[in-house]
Amino acid sequence: MKLEKNELRVAIFIIVPVVLLLLAVMLKLGYSIASSTMDVYLKIDSLTSIKEGTPVKIKGYTIGRVTDIKPVFKPALHFLAVLRIQKEIQLYEDCGAFIFNQNIIGDPIIEIRNPEKKGEPLVANAVIEGIEYGNLDTVVQKVSQLLTSLNSMIGVIQDITLESKGNLRELVATLTKSAGTLNDTLMNSQKDVIAILGSFRDTAKTMNRISEELEKSPMKFLFKDKKE
């Protein structure tokens, strides 16, 4: 019985200091971690841009991560992402937080950029406005808009080309007709000069119409030349 009591005392004597030592280490480690980081908030409009664990960087160097995302319902629905970042990195008020995907389709990152004119240092619980750009959805939307514009332009060019082709064909036909009339008249020696004048008058009208259209849309005939 005495032996069991002695063993219990020895165990307590060993365990208690070990537990106290572990508690001291944990407290010191926790204090060190807490004192070397601070939490700031990033305001975003959509949850599609970032998630918990998204890295926070400055000039490509990782200074923290997103630890939590909280919804805010007033005045309009938006979200506040908690950024746990290193205190030793000097950040300033009015710094920008740019959200974009790595290599266009990679995971999103948050890039912090200090303002050119440095003001007061950034403090804990401050709110940074998030700016989203360069993500895949935006790129796809811009490409779609560009393709739509190109298709519209191609349609206009095709219309201009067809219209120009018709005008040129009309001009060539009129000139051919005039040349034929002139040739027949000369061969018949002095046969109907009035017909010659009428033919040239028709040609002049056609040339005037083509000239007016050329002034309105000078690119018509340029595109026609390229197509041909």
**Angle (nearest 5°) at CA 142 between 137 and 148:** 125
* CA atoms within 13 A of residue 46's CA, in its CB half-sphere: 8
Predicted local confidence at residue 75, as pLDDT:
87
Q: At what angle do helices 193-216 and 136-187 cross, to 10 degrees?
A: 170
Q: Return the number of other C-beta atoms located less than 10 Å from residue 81's C-beta.
A: 26
Whether residue 28 has pLDDT greater than 90: no
Grade residue 227 by pLDDT with cuts at 50, 70 and 90. very low
Question: What per-residue confidence (pLDDT) applies to 166?
Answer: 60
Nearest to 64 by CA among 104, 7, 25, 109: 109
pLDDT, tens digit (0-9, with 9 covering 90-100), for 73-120: 988 899 999 999 999 989 998 899 999 887 656 688 999 999 888 889
Average pLDDT of the segment spanning 51-79: 93
Q: Which tokens is 64 given? A: 């923290």
Chain centre distance of CA 49 = 13
Q: Whole-structure pTM over 0.85, yes or no?
A: no
Instruction: Specify the pLDDT at position 10.
Output: 62
Check residues 33 and 143 and name the one with the higher pLDDT.
Answer: 143
pLDDT exceeds 90 at position 57: yes
pLDDT category of residue 30 using cuts at 50, 70 and 90? low
For the chain, what are the domain ranges? Answer: 36-134, 140-227
pLDDT tens digit string along 129-143?
A: 988 765 555 556 665
Task: Share the mean pLDDT of the chain.
Answer: 74
Distance CA 18, CA 103 (A): 50
What is d(CA 4, CA 76) in angstroms, rounded to the nearest whole number? 69
What does the pLDDT look like over 143-194, one tens digit per residue?
Answer: 567 677 766 766 665 665 555 556 666 766 676 666 666 566 555 544 455 5
Mean pLDDT of 37-56: 90
In sequence order, which residues have a C-beta less than 8 Å from that of residue 45 and are 6 or more positions away? 78, 79, 130, 132
